[in-house]
Structures are given as structure tokens and as C-alpha cells.
Amino acid sequence: MKSQSKSAFTLVELLVVIAIIGILVALLLPAVQTARAAARRMQCKNNLRQISLACLNYESAVGSLPSGALVKNPEFCSGNGLCRGIPMYMLIMPYMEEGTLPEVLTNLINEDPDDGWAWTRIIGTPFENAQVTPFQCPSVTKWDQIAARRDYYGVVGGKRISGSQANALGIDRQPVSRLAARGLVFSDGMFQLGRKIRIRNIKDGTSKTLAVGESVTPTLYGCDPDGYAVEGVGGPGCWWHGGSMTANFDPMDSRSYSGHSYGRMLASTVWPINSQDVNPSNIEPDTTNTIPFSSDHEGGVHFVFGDNHVEFITDGVDHEGVLWPLTTYRGRDIADR
């Protein structure tokens, strides 16, 4: 009777198969990671488009773009001379795809329609830690535990020109002043505290004016896992964070903007994209207004423009020749790109 031999892999053949599988995994893994990164970037772009579209819908309904924070003087000012505003991110919520604010939150805000401190009433309510997905970039992981964080900031300005240049152009001098407590204050961007801008006011063209961009640089008075401020180490802005200013401000006179504090909700381009000149572990009170636009995407930052188109602007872009002209909404300047 013949014995039947069983076929099997030799040790050499097994090692060859394992080596081939290892090579295939090594080749596929970067492709998978690249695909995931591309998907995250696409979602980030969609978030910015949704925010921009909500701003444009707001403009159609109200007659102007939302203020960086809605502020009324003296109605929104307290007895100590400090005024706070309702942030643009709350103002545009009824115009986003996710629909209007929950009724409870709407009632909270409208409890006293002339009270600009309404956003502070969210503290201690379930909405303090509510997540608003379109306000969060999926590439940001260091603040996953902060549900109410917001990774997008309205463009407040940032171009610096001399007084003689401003006079020749017939525009406000930038920067207007230095804020002793919070840093530089600008008024050449699309979103400012207490000041509403209409589409027709954007003289440089909506397709050439930055509206909203990403920033993952901590702001001094940002959120922590409990939803409120972390002083000293900073954190992201909450979607319900509003700005503040002194009671002598006049929304039509940028010379009175010296009391503005907007670092938790608006950002400027005074520093280059992904600037290494800003130390996020040592943010001082007099620099919190001037955090740069930054991201966890490699090589640059997504911005949505005034016409709702999104571009990825690299951190190697010409700061003064391209980024600054794109920042102004009526600077009569053209980006050289």
C-alpha cells in the first residue's frame, strides 16, 4: 500500500509569503493614511462652506453680514464699563443646515433681547458642553475632550500700513491702536466687534477677500473640558464665546476700537500662517488678540472667501504680498499671486 505525501509550505516559502504581505502592507498603509487625510480635509472644507453660506444667508435675511459679535452701546454694557457681545457663531446658527437653535437656547438668548451678556448664561447649562460639528475640523485631535470647541475664526484683519499710505488710499490706518490688555486691534477684515458689513461694502471683491479660516493656536481665555477658561495655558474658543470692549467704542469710528478683546472668536493675519513666532505654551494677555491662523493639516490652512469658495493657502505664501491684501475687504489692494 502506497503512502500519500501531504503537500505543505516549506519554511522558506512561508517566509517569502510573509515578506510579500509585509511589503504590501507597507505600500498600502501610506495610501490609506493619505486617503484619510484627504477625507478629513474635504470635511474641513465643507464645514467652512457651511459657515460661509450661513453668513450669506444671514446677510440676505438681515441686510448685512453678522458682526464678529453683536454689541449695542450702552444696552450691552455693564456698570463697570465693559460691554460683551453675542458671537457671530450663535447669530448664524438659525441659517445653517442643522437648523435653528434649540428652543431652550433660543429662549435663553432672547430672555432679554437687549442684554449682550446673554452668552454667559450658557455657562452652567447643558449647552455649555454642546458639540456643534460644523465648527470642528476632523483633523484636530488634541482637544477631542472639549466638546464645545470651535476650530474656525472669522478674519478681523491684520494688514499693517503706515498712516501716509492710509491717507493716500482714503482708508483707516491699520493697526488702529495697541490694546494695552489684549494686543493689537484691527478693523480691515470682514468681521469686527459691533460693526456690520454689507456685501456691497466689500470693495476688493468677495472672491478676493478672506472670510473665515482655521486656527488651532490656543487663545489665552479659551475652553477646557469643563467648557470655560483655562488661564495661562490657553485653549480653543468655545462656539458660544463672545468678545468684549470698553463702553466708549463707536462701531463707525475705528479709533475707538482700542478696548476690543476678540481673541476667542476672531483672528488676524498679522503673523504668518502657522507662525512659529507665537509660543502657544506661554500666551500673554497682551497677545491673545493676535493668534495666527493655523491648522493640523500639513503645510497650510483652509480659508473660505467672501463668495463661499474655499482655498488651501500654504504656510509659505508671501505674507505681505498675498496674505495681507487678501485680508482686507476694502483696502484697494490686489494680491500678487
DSSP for 181-212, written as a single string: TTEEE---SS-BBTB---GGG-TT-GGGSEEE
DSSP annotation of 207 reads G
Task: Quote the domain boundaries for residue 157.
Answer: 13-327
* pLDDT of amino acid 99: 63
Reduced to 3 states, what is the DSSP secondary structure of residue 13? Answer: helix
Q: Burial level of 61, CB count in 10 A (0-12/13-18/19+)?
A: exposed
* pLDDT of amino acid 234: 76
Q: Is 67 a member of any domain?
A: yes
Pairing of strands 266-268, 152-157: parallel
pLDDT digits (tens, 9 = 90+) for 313-332: 999 999 989 999 999 998 88
**Helix, strand, coil distribution of the chain in percent, nearest 5:** 35, 15, 50
* pLDDT of amino acid 67: 92
> How far is residue 78's CA from residue 84's CA, in Å, rounded to a whole number?
8
> How far is residue 180's CA from residue 288's CA, in Å, rounded to a whole number?
11
Q: Is 5 a member of any domain?
A: no
| pLDDT < 50 positions in the chain | none
| Cα four-point dihedral sign 135, 252, 249, 107 | negative
Q: Is 294 a member of any domain?
A: yes
> How far is residue 129's CA from residue 116's CA, in Å, rounded to a whole number?
21
Domain count, the chain: 1
Q: Is 149 a member of any domain?
A: yes
* pLDDT of amino acid 254: 67
* pLDDT of amino acid 103: 75
Residue 42 sits at φ, ψ, to 5 deg, of -65, -40
Q: Is 174 a member of any domain?
A: yes
Please provide the distance, in angstroms rounded to a whole number, between the alpha carbons at the two ends of the chain.
86
Q: Is 238 a member of any domain?
A: yes
Q: Is 265 a member of any domain?
A: yes
Paired with 302 in beta bridges are 312
pLDDT digits (tens, 9 = 90+) for 65-123: 999 998 887 778 876 778 888 899 999 988 987 666 777 777 777 776 667 777 777 87
Predicted structure pTM score: 0.85
Q: Is 335 a member of any domain?
A: no
Pair 315, 273: CB distance under 8 Å = yes
* pLDDT of amino acid 248: 79
